[in-house]
Amino acid sequence: MPTNIPNLLTWFRIWMIPVFVCLLYLPDTLLDVHQKHLFSTLIFALAAVTDWLDGYLARSLNQTSAFGAFLDPVADKLMVAAALIVLAELGQVAAFIAFIIIGREITISALREWMAQIGASKSVAVSMIGKVKTAFQMLAILLLLYQEPVMGVSAHQVGTWLIYLAAVLTLWSMVYYLMLAMPQISRKQRE
């Protein structure tokens, strides 16, 4: 396991997950609701920044590694899943939306692993639709965590619209990746 700055940032993101989750369940006597919203949003935003930063540093410092390439998406998916599960439990996100997004992540991760095993990983490389889906998803989660109006606009309402849009893009991107993989799947079934 290579120890370098990008991998340490990825580990830091994983270590923030229990802090993030516990923060939202602290009694109101320790942190009021406003503080919980603010701090959980800041922690999630920090996780998003470290996600971008670890990739940037890995490339610019030439510190990419197979372990880092494995751990980085795992950290991302764990943080997003934790946020969606907590938001669903707190009634801020519909459970079926959380299921769609988390289910897609599991499905596409398994598909990518299988495609890598058969030497066709480039067939399901990250696409623009996946990047757009991620951007909407991250912004939606930030707004749903914050909950409070931003410049007179309801963060909850905008976050809800964006998470529904992210769910549609999630399904679209899953179908897109499955269609890209279909020729390889068909070929393997004939063998």
Q: Parse the chain into domains and list their residue ranges.
A: 1-90, 94-191
Entry field: residues in the chain: 191
What integer pLDDT is reported at residue 123 of this predicted model?
64
**38: Cα within 13 Å, side-chain hemisphere:** 5
Q: What is the DSSP string of 25-88?
A: TS-TTTS-HHHHHHHHHHHHHHHHHHHHHHHHHHHHTT---HHHHHHHHHHHHHHHHHHHHHHH
What's the pLDDT band for 180 if we cut at 50, 70, 90? confident
What integer pLDDT is reported at residue 191 of this predicted model?
66
- What value does the mean pLDDT take over residues 157-172? 96
What integer pLDDT is reported at residue 187 of this predicted model?
77
What's the pLDDT band for 9 if we cut at 50, 70, 90? very high
Taking 80 as the threshold, does the pLDDT of residue 41 lie above it? yes
CA distance 39 to 23: 8
Q: What is the pLDDT of residues 123-144, one digit of tens each?
A: 666 778 888 998 999 999 999 9
Residue type (1 letter), 169: L
What integer pLDDT is reported at residue 125 of this predicted model?
66
Taking 80 as the threshold, does the pLDDT of residue 56 lie above it? yes
Closest to 104 measured CA to CA, from 68, 80, 86 = 80
CA distance 84 to 99: 9
Taking 80 as the threshold, does the pLDDT of residue 185 lie above it? no
Question: Which CATH superfamily groups domain 1-90?
Answer: CDP-alcohol phosphotransferase transmembrane (TM) domain (1.20.120.1760)
DSSP class of 154: -
DSSP class of 121: G
What integer pLDDT is reported at residue 121 of this predicted model?
67
Phi, psi (rounded to 5 degrees) for 189: -70, -30
